[in-house]
Chains A and B, each alone.
Chain A
Amino acid sequence: MAITTAYRTRSGAVPLRSFKTKGRHSAIAGMGVYAPEKVITNFDLEKMMDTSDKWITERTGIRTRHIAEPGTTTLELATKAARGALDAAGITANDLDMILVGTSSPDGPFPSIACRIQDELDAPGAVAWDMLAACTSFVYGLATADSFIATERADNVLVIGAEVLSRMLDYSNRGTAVIFGDGAGAAVVRPAPDGAGFLSWCLGSDGRGYLQVTCGNKELGAYAAKDPRPIIEMEGPDVFKFAVDIFIRQANEVCSAAGISMEDIDLWVPHQANFRIIDAAARRIGLPLDRVAINIDEYGNTSSASIPIALEEAIRKGRVKTGDHVLLAGFGSGLTWGASLLKWV
């Protein structure tokens, strides 16, 4: 049921920056995903910590999550998703001009996962780098790809979101350990006909909220504090409020920049952080849940990989048709957020 109360911008909220796409248009030409085979259910977690299937399901909508075996690299997950995306787009690694990897769980400080993937795939013509915007990384990656294609500096861009977050969880903390999972998703972005593909963007950050989602020493950062085992921590209620709020504001922004009404959204693919956040925002936006891509029940929150994993599943299930208006929207630690409205090609 749609919530009828008019939306109002809170005091202290930063003004949003939104853009209508200019120059050469771009679109997603193919996607690939990968999640580790091992699945941990809520019932498994009941045996590991003080929690219950009921508690987790009611508060998060999560029933299972894919967890990598110890020693699995983010590179491995990312490379598998990348190969799938290249196949789906019908191009080879040799065609790639750029490789962008969004991750908050790199295997080490450097070299970047993007450069390692370039080597794995054998993509000698690409410029490659990682970008860190927590759960928003994939959307920032798409926005970067779109900008380079718009200005004709690139034709074929591989954007990947990949995470092994299980390395950053403490399985005695029921607050956060139950939420996150591992996985990777990738998209090939290519030029599109005028008026199709990415139509508008809303990107932003608010560093004042840096304490809301952290991993390791909050003030110095895990490296500087020589934190031996950084663990993800979250200010639950603050994040919930921020997330619902930014989902609604971004949806408004990208729709109005693209010149469409919110009712014309055929599919919303939100960052899968918590079913309750998605549900609350969908009701306020006025979108029925059959127009929302949700698979958090199976994957949990896979951070930068959640949007591509949910979008790829929606495509595979035939939920996206040519001409559909698709809204991608993410938010994450930083604080960061990003959304785009696409006309599916």
Chain B
Amino acid sequence: MATPLDFKELQELAAEILGIEPDQVQLDKSFAKDLAADSLDLVELIAAVEDKYDVELPEAELEKMKVIGDLWKFLEQKTAERLEA
């Protein structure tokens, strides 16, 4: 049984990986422009998200990740699929 998602958890994880404050991690924040995350930061963050949430993000999806909200939407979708399963 999947547990509901907690945005705070994602904020903390992203902050830990990107070396920023959790409050800076908001849905509309761009990885590149607002959070100064380069492509390697993003790969590292995605790997940590995959570990934490037991999901796998296809390479094609990775390119679509522009803002925190994109990552959150992906996680919500995965969780919804699990609840249905």
Contacts and interface: CB of A to CB of B under 8 A. Distances in A.
Interface of A: 1, 3-8, 10-11, 58-59, 236-238, 240-241, 244-245, 276, 280
Nearest to B46: A241
Interface of B: 13, 16-17, 38-40, 43-44, 47-48, 50-52, 54, 56, 59, 62
B68 to A, nearest CB: 18
B39 A280 contact: no
A237 B60 CA distance: 12
B51 A5 contact: yes
Q: 6 closest pairs, A vs B, by CB? A: A5-B52, A8-B51, A237-B43, A276-B40, A280-B44, A240-B43
Given A236-B39, A240-B40, A240-B43, A10 B50 contact: yes
Contact of B56 (A3, A11, A59): A11
A10 B16 contact: no
Contacts of B40: 59, 237, 240, 276
Nearest to B40: A276
Contact of A5 (B13, B56, B62): B13
Nearest to A12: B56
Contacts, number: 38
Contacts of A4: 16
B54 A8 contact: yes
B4 to A, nearest CB: 18
B16 A3 contact: yes
B43 A245 contact: no
A5 B48 contact: yes
Nearest to B62: A237
B39 A237 contact: yes
19 contacts: A3-B16, A5-B48, A5-B51, A7-B51, A8-B51, A10-B50, A59-B40, A236-B39, A237-B43, A237-B62, A238-B59, A240-B40, A240-B44, A241-B43, A241-B47, A244-B44, A276-B40, A276-B44, A280-B44
A7 B62 CA distance: 20
A245 B62 contact: no
Count chain A CB atoms within 10 A of each CB in B13, B43, B54 and give the residue with the most: B43
Contacts of A1: 16
Nearest to A4: B16
Nearest to B49: A5
Contacts of B16: 1, 3-4
Contacts of A8: 50-51, 54
